[in-house]
Structure 1
């Protein structure tokens, strides 16, 4: 072991000296500025802010990158440096014009700059290979700049980069990456082929999304003959859609909006037996993503050729009242409260900061639910019900492999054990929920839930619904025909 360490030190010294004797070039100033700009990960936070301007994979890449930096920084600064202290290279190793104005005084091993750079670049690449390819050269330059400016040995950088890449890959344990794949499996169906939208009634939610797509302009260009409805503020959305569906000229319903709007229109389409065309103009568009709709042009092509499929819908009856439909998920417990706080704060703070603040508030104030699940008494923190089986397993349901299996995906976190929340969080972070007794998953065609206490609110497809004490969930097979590109 001593011989191995001695050989490694000698190689380290030769590499550092090889860098130190490089001739003076214009790159010296650039590397010095780049190294300084990465202090406290400010460079990566700025890049993350730019990536977050656009929804979708780049925004997910930014969030995953920040999370990876947090893990890498904690590992290097709280574990690596205190346990394995090392002197930095001598000040005279590199020429004065390459030295940093304020060189660090902490342990040299491992390099925190290299760890953060590798963590961010790897995390971005996991979500968006294109963005990752653009970020990677900058990350490599930041890592090398630490050797070039004489504040780290090459081995410090190599180990720091390995820690950063490992921290990025570790985020997959609690936030799995959705694979780049075709649309979810579903039974194909031939639907009415509409050339210019004649026979279609479209409801547009003008407040949905970030304004990247103008539904009004798009519909006017692709479906000029369609009947278009813009519901006013405070109007009953379901009543508006139902009125559209009853028109004699309407053979197909269309909707432009997010999952909440799409769910309302899908319920009417299912009741009237009408096909549905979905324009993904919301913020997240989970249902459209599972259909394989990558953009609005794909919808136009599917409607023009009549390509579609049949999918299941989830239903829930609250206290025996009228059946409500949901496309993606429904839940009881902390999530409805989180949605309520987010809607209260997002106009003032923005959606993502409001969501984070709402999550912290709910985790701090949440209380267990006393429920009966199919007649069996259970104490839970949150109950999740998905329309169809979600993947991956574990408490991070993200996508659906198929849309017509006739089953509900039921998941909940038990609250009848000591330190259940702490144990759940630990298992989620370590990717061991499958072996945890705190977390339960099962698939079933229907589920009866009785609340042992006061009424609680239901959240479905990102919207908070009515309160109730008895909930009957069920999967409705082949309930909806919907346009989608041919897989």
Structure 2
């Protein structure tokens, strides 16, 4: 005869109550009482905030935020929906029982939900801190059965709810992006005070300067560097070429300050002249600079002064009209529009919901384009090719694993029969990557042909008319760049 889950619950509860647990009697009841109203987790969070530095403070905030969401869900929804009587505590030794037995619904365990939510939230931010908190959280959850306050299934449901709350908080407030692997170390000249560094700062990039321009901050950090500002009336490419020739004559380095499009232009010139590149963040997004660990002008100045550099991959789009490099992404079709929608919503609802909203928007409002991929004709809504593999999911990934893996991360959304309906369903249900109309692969090169007219492409956010034929390929470890500590 099969045992029902309620009977299993009672049997397991009785086994825990009837067994002597060495050393547990003086500890677990006190631990259970300490977790009342979240006091235990508040104390642990305070300790992490004081002793754990910036990562400890972030982990404490994420843990408490997850706990708050879990407590709200348990106390306002779960307990009112599922009313369940507390276990009979006759079989529980008196020394284990709580001084004041709870009277609310037994299902689910609020203490277990809070414990799991706090531990999972801390672990999402910091693995080592999460590993330290996990045994305490597990002990609190077990103590609820040990003291007779809950059945085992109450505790398991509470833990599941707590982990779910931490994942909800993670979707709403993603952890800070982790820097990818920077590539193998490279020799680059250390330039004290910036001597031998020739920088072109694009004044048209990024938000308007409030106090001082990026060029002024570079001059303040590196007084011996040659810094030229490029305005909308100047020829940015020619200014970068002149700076590169001067840097090559002095045995120095080329510097650039601007957004990803400006940095892309400078990278192609530095690659052609065999020069190391110093990237100063000066755009709105600064994806490449952030991947190098260069989030401020001071960080780049420190790397230049120390001569700290790495080799990174460069991707190249070769056409009959000439070769153009890109450092982050190449795209055809609706990808630029998809990224714009995703970034507009990601800070409000989190990266996963924003990706879903962006995919729905693209498939509702955009039309497929005709392309040939390695000789095979396809109708696509969008084609993405990343310089190195990206770790995030979906058609608009944002985080790379490393900067020198020798591969292109190719992803596209098919535009064949019924693809719009299937892709909309996949986006709305959150299973974009398992949809048959979404394809991804990591390849060293990709041959493209665009037979139609009026098709545009984007390289690192810069839009241009697509040539008829293109070869996307890698220049493995082709560029030397200064990087953060």
What's the CA shift string for 1:343-388, capped at 9, x where partnerless? 9xx6xx9976799476653343233333222331112232111223
Query: Is 1:122 aligned to residue 124 of structure 2?
Result: no
Name the counterpart of 1:403: 404
* Cα separation, partners in 2 of 1:382 and 1:325, compared to 1, 3 Å: same
Give distance in 2, aligned partners of 1:138 and 1:212: 49
Query: Is 1:203 aligned to residue 200 of structure 2?
Result: yes
Name the counterpart of 1:51: none
Name the counterpart of 1:421: 423
Bigger radius of gyration:
2
Name the counterpart of 1:6: 10
Name the counterpart of 1:266: 267
Name the counterpart of 2:465: 467
* Cα separation, partners in 2 of 1:114 and 1:94, compared to 1, 3 Å: closer
Give distance in 2, aligned partners of 1:136 and 1:213: 47
Give distance in 2, aligned partners of 1:429 and 1:112: 31
The offset of 1:324, in angstroms, is: 3.0
Which among 108, 111, 114 is matched to residue 110 of structure 1? 108
Q: Contact 1:199 / 1:226 at 8 angstroms: preserved in 2?
A: yes
* 1:29-68 matched pairs, under 5 angstroms: none
Give distance in 2, aligned partners of 1:421 and 1:120: 36
Give distance in 2, aligned partners of 1:139 and 1:284: 39
Secondary structure of 1:6's counterpart equals: helix
Give distance in 2, aligned partners of 1:154 and 1:132: 23
Name the counterpart of 2:244: 245
Q: Contact 2:109 / 2:155 at 8 angstroms: preserved in 1?
A: yes
Name the counterpart of 1:378: 378
Name the counterpart of 2:362: 362
* 1:75-474 matched pairs, under 5 angstroms: 85-87=82-84, 109-110=107-108, 115=113, 118-119=116-117, 122-123=120-121, 125-129=123-127, 156-165=154-163, 183-186=181-184, 188-204=185-201, 208=206, 215=214, 219-220=218-219, 222-232=221-231, 237-247=236-246, 251-280=252-281, 285-288=286-289, 290-291=291-292, 299-316=300-317, 320-321=320-321, 323-339=323-339, 356=354, 361-391=361-391, 396=397, 398-403=399-404, 405=406, 407-416=407-416, 418=418, 419-422=421-424, 424-425=426-427, 429=431, 438-452=438-452, 454-461=453-460, 463-468=461-466, 470=468, 472-474=470-472
Secondary structure of 1:448's counterpart equals: strand
The offset of 1:225, in angstroms, is: 0.7
* Cα separation, partners in 2 of 1:108 and 1:134, compared to 1, 3 Å: same
Q: Contact 2:109 / 2:154 at 8 angstroms: preserved in 1?
A: yes
Give distance in 1, aligned partners of 2:433 and 2:346: 31
**How many pairs were matched up?**
434
Secondary structure of 2:361's counterpart equals: helix
* Cα separation, partners in 2 of 1:4 and 1:275, compared to 1, 3 Å: same
Give distance in 2, aligned partners of 1:470 and 1:378: 15
Give distance in 2, aligned partners of 1:139 and 1:457: 54
Secondary structure of 1:196's counterpart equals: helix
Give distance in 2, aligned partners of 1:361 and 1:112: 39
* Cα separation, partners in 2 of 1:172 and 1:216, compared to 1, 3 Å: same
Name the counterpart of 1:41: none
Give distance in 2, aligned partners of 1:312 and 1:77: 51
The offset of 1:155, in angstroms, is: 5.4
Q: Contact 2:423 / 2:437 at 8 angstroms: preserved in 1?
A: no
Q: Which sections of structure 2, spanning at least 5 residues, go unmatched?
A: 19-25, 41-53, 88-96
* Cα separation, partners in 2 of 1:154 and 1:185, compared to 1, 3 Å: same
* Cα separation, partners in 2 of 1:297 and 1:9, compared to 1, 3 Å: same
The offset of 1:287, in angstroms, is: 2.9
Give distance in 1, aligned partners of 2:309 and 2:254: 14
Q: Contact 2:86 / 2:150 at 8 angstroms: preserved in 1?
A: yes
Q: TM-score normalised to the size of structure 1?
A: 0.63
Q: TM-score normalised to the size of structure 2?
A: 0.63
* Cα separation, partners in 2 of 1:33 and 1:180, compared to 1, 3 Å: closer
Stretch of structure 1 that moved more, 308-317 or 201-210: 201-210
The offset of 1:327, in angstroms, is: 0.3
The offset of 1:276, in angstroms, is: 0.4
What's the CA shift string for 1:211-262, capped at 9, x where partnerless? 9999557634542111223444676544543453354777421134443342
Give distance in 2, aligned partners of 1:265 and 1:237: 9
Secondary structure of 2:190's counterpart equals: coil
Q: Contact 2:411 / 2:438 at 8 angstroms: preserved in 1?
A: no
Q: Which sections of structure 1, spanning at least 5 residues, go unmatched?
A: 36-53
* Cα separation, partners in 2 of 1:231 and 1:353, compared to 1, 3 Å: farther
Give distance in 2, aligned partners of 1:58 and 1:283: 25
The offset of 1:326, in angstroms, is: 1.0
Give distance in 1, aligned partners of 2:232 and 2:137: 47
